[in-house]
Amino acid sequence: MMAEVKPRVDAVIVGMGWTGAILAKELTDAGLRVVALERGADRDTQPDFAYPKIVDELEGSVHRRHLQSLAQETVTIRHRVADTAVPYRQVGSFKPGTGVGGAGVHWSGCHFRALPEDLELRSTLVQRYGARFLPAEMTIQDFPLTYEELEPHFDEFEYVCGTSGKAGVLQGVPQEGGNPFEGSRQREYPLPPNPNYLGAELFYTAAREMGWHPYPIPASNASRPYVNPYGCQMGPCNFCGFCSDYGCLNYSKASPNVCILPVLRQREGFELRTRAQVLKIDLDSSGRRATGVRYLDANGGEVEQPADIVLLCAFSLYNVHLLLVSGIGTAYDPETGRGTVGRNYSYQNLNRVVLFFDKDVQANPFIGIGGAGTTMDDLNGKQLDNAQAGFVGGGIIWARQPGAGPVRGINLPPGAPAWGTEWKRAVRDSFRHSFYYEVQGACMSYRQHYLSLDPTYRDAFGRPLLRMTFDWHDNEIRASQFLVGKALEMCKLLKPKALAGDAKKPGEHYNVTRYQSTHTCGGAIMARIRRRRH
């Protein structure tokens, strides 16, 4: 059967999450006709995230109602190039979204800017320690954009999101209470920081005792009523405790749905088609120019959408997948180091320390706000002497409490059993009297970590699954041990009655069953270096 051919538009957008919504807004501002194709359903605060149905832990964190189901599309994963990859069959390590808003619905709200030196990581390291400091297989490179070039856009996005925080450096002048190590910003955050929960408050005490410079995590969880530059309204966060995994019931957490779509939905030049599963990008006969996309509509019928501009705004992994299944660019080859698509897949090096206290300490982990809390940059960027620390890349320790409930899991002190009366006792004694800090370490890019197409497994549409080749490198294990060590040192100052830490051990492999981070990055990278055509 022939595909239905839709009238040509100026731009077609694949995926209606943050990037799709931002670009749809910019392009329709410029007068272009835009069609957005979203593989999932339409979603909005009302009725999809309405109280009380939304605050159901079984639905949100077990049935994963707000995440992508893996039944139709997933990835395969292996640790080494020589291994056979197996499917990511159940959600664990990372949580792609689906539906309007994408992962911008179930994110937490932490809203950091990159440090200036992070955007020029390779040259900064080479300048400080010489090129030989970088392990041979480490393939990090500078971004082709500087902090100064990005600053106006960082600023604009914070104002779109109603980000609540405290500036550390305003137009070059250090500010009390903010991050002294941040890149200079043109103006203050649109909203002041949110109030601190106990663990965030204690972080200040302990971090200062360590000689560090704690500051409020910039949070796109509104601390006050707010109207963004587009006229979209946000309400103050009420600390409901259902942020990560959930859509916001309160118009408080920034999302495409709250902060951009109310404007887009009114626009004549904008059309949103949901349950539109893009299968492939169409190319012209030279294979060098995208002419549109091909998708399945809700009926399963194939539709061709011609467009002058094709924008891939899906979840990072699926953008790379679409490039590869459409035969665009040169697929990366880890043997030769040639090719760009799939290159430099990287991740995040998450570790956790948990502090347990007596019953007079009211940690109340059910009180939660996704993005807010306390953190520090003293072991990050240029503040860390990498030569002394013995690894490349820095990290942060943060106090953050996005909201805990017993179905999502209760942290238990070391040695507690997993069931029986003693488990019950540990659960009862720990739940309200413990909190955790996380250690977010950087994760470098390596020659052998990349994305490609799987030779065996297919998705529900007959396409090869994307294959991820990734494992922890010695450098990241050393970073984990160093940073968790520092975090434990800090935690001891708070005199918890028990303390647990999960630094990665030498030889430890990437475990896809445990949630770590949805920051699956790389694979479709930018760089200053442009390889000459062969």
Closest approach, Cβ 402 to another protein, in A, equals: 13
* Closest CB to another protein among residues 195, 301: 195
- Dmax (CA) for the chain in angstroms is 72
* Closest CB to another protein among residues 154, 197: 197
Residues facing residue 374 across a β-bridge: 216, 399
Closest approach, Cβ 249 to another protein, in A, equals: 7
Q: In 3D, which of 503, 448, 445 has the Cα closest to residue 479? A: 503
Closest approach, Cβ 490 to another protein, in A, equals: 20
Beta carbons within 8 Å of 487's beta carbon, 6+ residues apart? 351, 353, 397, 437, 439, 501
- Catalytic residue, chosen from 153, 213, 473, 519, is 519
DSSP β-ladder status, 349-356 and 434-441: antiparallel
* Closest CB to another protein among residues 107, 197: 197
Closest approach, Cβ 432 to another protein, in A, equals: 5
Which of helix, strand or coil describes residue 502? coil
Burial of 508 per CB tally in 10 Å (0-12, 13-18, 19+): middle
Q: How far is CA 219 from CA 14, 112, 163, 238, in A?
A: 27, 8, 5, 14
Task: Give the residues lining the site for another protein (CB under 8 A).
Answer: 51-53, 55-58, 62-64, 69-71, 74, 77, 79, 84, 86-92, 195-198, 236-242, 249, 362, 364, 366-368, 405-407, 410, 418-421, 423-425, 427-428, 431-432, 456-458, 509-513
Beta carbons within 8 Å of 145's beta carbon, 6+ residues apart? 119, 526
* Closest CB to another protein among residues 128, 428: 428
Rounded distance between C-alpha atoms, residue 22 and residue 272, angstroms: 14
Q: Mutual orientation of helices 198-209 and 474-492 as an angle, nearest 10°?
A: 100
Rounded distance between C-alpha atoms, residue 166 and residue 388, angstroms: 31
Closest approach, Cβ 314 to another protein, in A, equals: 18
Helix (H) or strand (E) holding 205: helix 198-209
Which of helix, strand or coil describes residue 312? strand
Amino acid identity, position 213: H
Beta carbons within 8 Å of 419's beta carbon, 6+ residues apart? none
Amino acid identity, position 228: N
Closest approach, Cβ 81 to another protein, in A, equals: 16
Closest approach, Cβ 87 to another protein, in A, equals: 5
* Closest CB to another protein among residues 257, 430: 430
Tell me if residue 519 is catalytic: yes
* Closest CB to another protein among residues 330, 517: 517
* Closest CB to another protein among residues 332, 510: 510
Residues recognised as catalytic: 519
